[in-house]
Amino acid sequence: MIIVLLAALVATGCGGTLPRQPEAAGAQLQGRMDGEFRDCADCPAMAWVRAGTFDMGSEPDEPRRLGLPDYWGLRESPRHRVSIARRFALGRTEITRAEFARFVADTGYSPAPGCWHYVGSEWLFDEKRSWRDPGFEQQDDHPATCVNWLDAMAYVDWLSARSGHRYRLPSEAEWEYAARAGTRTAFAFGDDPAGACRYVNLGDRRTRERFGWDRTRMKADLHFDWKGEDCDDGHAATAPVRALAPNGFGFWGLGGNANEWVADCWHDDYSAGPVDGRARTLSGDCGVRAMRGQGWSAVAASVRPAFRMKMVATDRRFTFGFRVARDP
């Protein structure tokens, strides 16, 4: 409980003017993604990400500078060079409610009832909650939430059969490569969290006003003061998947709106990890899976491309979603 709440609600400041990205970096970014395509009428919008090399993870002091506990930095270390050996396709957005609904209608898939949501100052499991009703209003173009890792895997299996192509969840490395979009800064938009609301749907003034979480209890339990960011992304909970600005590679939501399941089994750090972009699926705790990105209740310090967290594969929470990848 503590892990996911800290992941979803860790606090730091936000507000002000978005830092301008260097022109050279912007030029590099535009060369890394090919145009949007769909493999079938019901398939999500995808784009090819070209092969390349990047530094994965963060320096140990990066999370600390932004107000996060030291153990987050340990999870993101050691920073290491990864070479994505070949291009891969990645969903331009998270899988939407409409896309997930088509899968459910076509297969009769019926996830077990219930979803965790945060009320007052604690996580509660509500059997009435589901991806259809996560506890807040959504539209068809919002990300599907209250989805666990097994639900996501069922969706990619269906999509593979429907399209004739091998769809899957992205690896941690592929996700971070696309989220960084050629940058080396703490955020895809610079080193300063100010202005995050222009790019990321996160916990802001609207979230604080809408849900009224108990800051006193949360601070006592979690050792930080979640107050919501002092900016306004226009959405109290989830947002349309293309509501805010895309990153330099042209992808939306790689950082906010929904936490995203990836393929990897959980490892506490990157020691002895692959350096070619593959998912780590043959070692570690595979009953616990890595998640990347953040949800709509997050704070700016945790919407960095390097941020990672672990969750039990069967867990459903009101910020949990996913996007898909596919091979050439």
Q: What is the CATH number of the domain that holds 176?
A: 3.90.1580.10
User: Could you tell me if 126 and 136 are in contact, meaning their C-beta atoms sit under 8 angstroms apart?
Assistant: no
How many domains, in total, are found in the chain?
A: 1
Global confidence as pTM: 0.88
- Boundaries of domain holding 13: 2-326
pLDDT digits (tens, 9 = 90+) for 279-325: 999 888 899 999 999 999 888 888 999 999 999 999 999 999 999 99
pLDDT digits (tens, 9 = 90+) for 27-45: 333 346 678 999 999 999 9
* Alpha carbon distances (Å) from 293 to 31, 43, 111, 258, 302: 23, 22, 23, 7, 8
Gyration radius from the chain CA atoms: 18
Over the chain (328 residues), what is each successive 10-residue block's mean pLDDT?
40 31 34 82 96 93 82 90 96 98 98 87 89 96 98 98 97 98 92 85 87 62 54 93 94 95 97 93 92 91 93 97 97
